[in-house]
Amino acid sequence: MEFGSGAAVGGIIGFAAKKVAKVLAVIVGLELAVFKFLESRGILSVDWEKLTAGMLKTTEAAASGTPPSWLSTLLSTLSVSAGFTGGFLVGFKKG
C-alpha cells in the first residue's frame, strides 16, 4: 500500500513539477529578452558577466553530482521513497 500511494503522489508531483518548470523557463526567457530589448534602447544597463557568473556557479553545483542535503534528508525519511521516485519520474515524463 505504501509503495502504491507513494507512486501515485510522486506521479502527481512529477507532472506538476514539469508544468511549473515549463512556465518558469518561459518566464526566464521572456525576462532575458526584455532585458536585451531595454538594453538595446539604452533604457537599462545589464552586466551580463555577473548574470552569467551566477548561472555558471549553479551549473557547476549541478554537475558535481551530489544532491542538496535537504533532498537527501527528505528521501531517507520517507518510507515510500521508491514508489514516490518512480511515480515522480513517470509523472514528469507525462507532463
Longest CA span, the chain: 61
Binned at pLDDT 50, 70 and 90, residue 5 comes out as: confident
- Residue 11 and residue 87 in contact, taking contact as beta carbons nearer than 8 Å: yes
CA dist 66 and 84 (Å) reads 20
Mean pLDDT for the chain? Answer: 77
> Quick check: pTM over 0.75?
no
pLDDT band at 50 (very low <50, low <70, confident <90, very high): confident
Residue that wins the pLDDT comparison between 85 and 31 = 31
